[in-house]
Amino acid sequence: MLSTLIFLAILAVVVFYVIGIYNKLVSLHNRYQNAFAQIEVQLKRRYDLIPNLVETAKAYMAHERETLEAVIAARNGAVAGLQAAAAQPGNAQSMAQLAGAEGLLQNALGRLNVTLEAYPDLKASQNMQQVSEELSSTENKVAFARQAFNDAVMDYNTYKQSFPPVVLAPTFGHGQDASLLEFADSEVIQAAPKVSF
């Protein structure tokens, strides 16, 4: 009788421990998905600001049509990359697609900034200054949101890869590690874009 009670007590402890592992995996998984949702909010804000920037610049830069169209095309590609990543946050392929699209957008915005230097009237425009300031602010928010996402992914992967969760995680539907969101030009992106007037 005593051995049965001891066995049941040990079994109960093991069951509660396994439930704790499952709950922590779910919690960490939800945390990194929420962190990605914050990136998504900031990137959507950024993508919404870019057409305003282009529209403001159009009146001054009529003969720079190719540069403006490249920015819009890169922005549209980044929106598509974000939608794919939002469908599967943490998925390696989705994160790579978003990182590639963001790299193209960053290059297009860099070319636009170089072009803007040749237009002192545009640089002095109140609308242009306001949109550029909002874009710079949003870039900082994107960097912070991306860091929070990567931290949440790191916590999830570290816990999932530790023992004993590593044994139980695949059984609970947490077989693959989540992927970090890393951009090819990570050092450049971490610095806020310099928009000078």
- Global pTM value: 0.70
Average pLDDT of the chain, as a whole number: 83
Q: Read off the pLDDT of residues 17-61 as tens digits, 9 standing for 90 and up.
A: 999 999 999 999 999 999 999 999 988 988 888 888 887 777 666
Q: Name the range with the highest mean pLDDT among 71-75, 113-117, 122-126.
A: 71-75
Give the C-alpha separation, 98 to 46, whole Å: 14
Q: Read off the pLDDT of residues 51-102 as tens digits, 9 standing for 90 and up.
A: 888 877 776 666 677 788 888 889 889 988 888 888 888 888 888 888 889 8
Residue 181 buriedness (CB in 10 A; 0-12 / 13-18 / 19+): buried
